[in-house]
Amino acid sequence: MRLPNSRKAREAGFAYIVLLPAIAYFLVYFFYPIVVELWASFFRGQPLIGQSEFAGFDNYRQALMDSRVRAAFGRTVVFATLGTVFTLVPALCLAAILSGPIKAATTIRAIIFFPYIISFVIVALMWKSLLDPYTGILNALLSYLDLPTQNWLSTPSTALPTIVAITVWKDIGYAMLIYIAAIQGIPKDLYEAAEVDGASPAQRFRRITIPLLMPTTLFLAVISTIGHLQDLSAPYLLTGGGPAEATRLYALHVYEAAFLELNIGYASALSFLMFVAILVITFLQFRFLNREVVY
CATH number at residue 156: 1.10.3720.10
In a domain, 109, yes or no: yes
In a domain, 205, yes or no: yes
Domain around 160:
42-289
> pLDDT digits over 242-269, tens only?
899 999 999 999 999 999 999 999 999 9
Indicate the pTM of the whole model: 0.89
Q: Does residue 232 register a pLDDT over 90?
A: yes
Residue 44's φ and ψ, nearest 5 degrees, are: -100, 135
In a domain, 245, yes or no: yes
Where does the pLDDT of residue 6 fall: very low under 50, low under 70, confident under 90, or very high at 90 and above? confident
In a domain, 207, yes or no: yes
Nearest to 280 by CA among 269, 288, 292: 288
Q: What's the angle, vertex CA 213, arms to CA 207 and CA 215, rounded to 5?
A: 135
d(CA 94, CA 91): 5
Q: Does residue 4 register a pLDDT over 60?
A: no
Where does the pLDDT of residue 295 fall: very low under 50, low under 70, confident under 90, or very high at 90 and above? low
Residue 8's φ and ψ, nearest 5 degrees, are: -65, -40
In a domain, 34, yes or no: no
Is the distance from CB of 101 to CB of 241 less than 8 angstroms? Answer: no
d(CA 181, CA 115): 19
Average pLDDT for the chain: 92
Is the distance from CB of 261 to CB of 252 less than 8 angstroms? Answer: no
Q: What's the angle, vertex CA 37, arms to CA 287 and CA 218, rounded to 5?
A: 20
Nearest to 150 by CA among 134, 164, 128, 169: 134
Nearest to 233 by CA among 140, 139, 122, 131: 122
In a domain, 213, yes or no: yes
Q: Which of 31-35, 108-112, 214-218, 291-295 has the lowest mean pLDDT?
A: 291-295
Q: Are strands 43-45 and 52-54 parallel, antiparallel or unpaired?
A: antiparallel
Q: What is the pLDDT of residue 294?
A: 64
HSE-CB at 205 with a 13 A cutoff on CA atoms is 12
Q: What is the pLDDT of residue 3?
A: 54
In a domain, 7, yes or no: no
In a domain, 27, yes or no: no
Domain total in the chain: 1
